[in-house]
Amino acid sequence: MEIQVDNNAIKAEMSAQSKLMEDFPIDKALVSDIDRHIKEIESKLNDHLVHLESHYPILHYLPSTPAAHLATVVTEDVWSSLDFVKVFPCRDCLHEEISYKKSSKGYGFFYNTGRVKYDLGICEDYGGTDTYIRIIEDSREEVKVTGASVEIKLKFFQHLKFLLQQIRDRSNNVATEYRNAIYPQ
């Protein structure tokens, strides 16, 4: 049995694939511009000695309730000593965060992502309700953005504005405290 090859069908498929390649929104120039922009901002922050650690969570592993974000992360010893009203066992959630913190050459931008498995417990006593977290498994990994993949650079770039606002606000607070200490009113 002889296999029939339809050359016209193959050429039509190759043409369709080539047209798809022309429409890709991401190209080398765009990625290079974003990479250059991130490096310039990192360099300017280091040149101005803005060495204030900041973290901006894109997706937090904790539920989005105010009580969960005020939870205290505890060790196994502390967890077993608490008397819980309610326990939510073995939650498994994704965590993504961008940050600006100390690196080998001054301060730099980082991207942190991975899954976190944890137990969430609620205690009640006369002082009110407290929420505690025991991390069971933490598979988060941190990558320096300037050496990261294209996907990480693009995701970081999407949220960079919010991290820069946080760094600016923190630096304004530090500068105000410093001025008030030197020139009391």
What are 124-136's pLDDT values in tens digits? 888 788 889 999 9
Q: What is the distance between the alpha carbons of residues 133 and 57, in angstroms, rounded to a whole number? A: 18
Q: Per-residue pLDDT for 102 more than 90? A: yes
Confidence band of 185 (pLDDT split at 50, 70, 90): confident
Q: What is the distance between the alpha carbons of residues 129 and 82, in angstroms, rounded to a whole number? A: 13
Of residues 161 and 31, more confidently modeled: 161
Helix (H, G, I), strand (E, B) or coil at 25: coil
DSSP string, 93-121: EEEEEEEEEE-SSSEEEEEEEEEEEEEEE
Q: Per-residue pLDDT for 46 more than 70? A: yes
**Is the whole model's pTM more than 0.85, yes or no?**
no
The alpha carbon of residue 118 and the mean position of all alpha carbons in its chain are separated, in whole angstroms, by 19
Helix or strand run (H / E) with residue 157 = helix 150-182
- What mean pLDDT do residues 91-115 have? 92
Confidence band of 24 (pLDDT split at 50, 70, 90): low
What pLDDT does residue 67 have? 67
What pLDDT does residue 30 have? 82
Helix or strand run (H / E) with residue 132 = strand 128-138
Contacts for 153 with CB less than 8 Å, ≥ 6 apart: 31, 34, 35, 38, 145
User: 164 is written with which tokens?
Assistant: 């820069």
The domain segmentation of the chain, as residue ranges, is 26-182
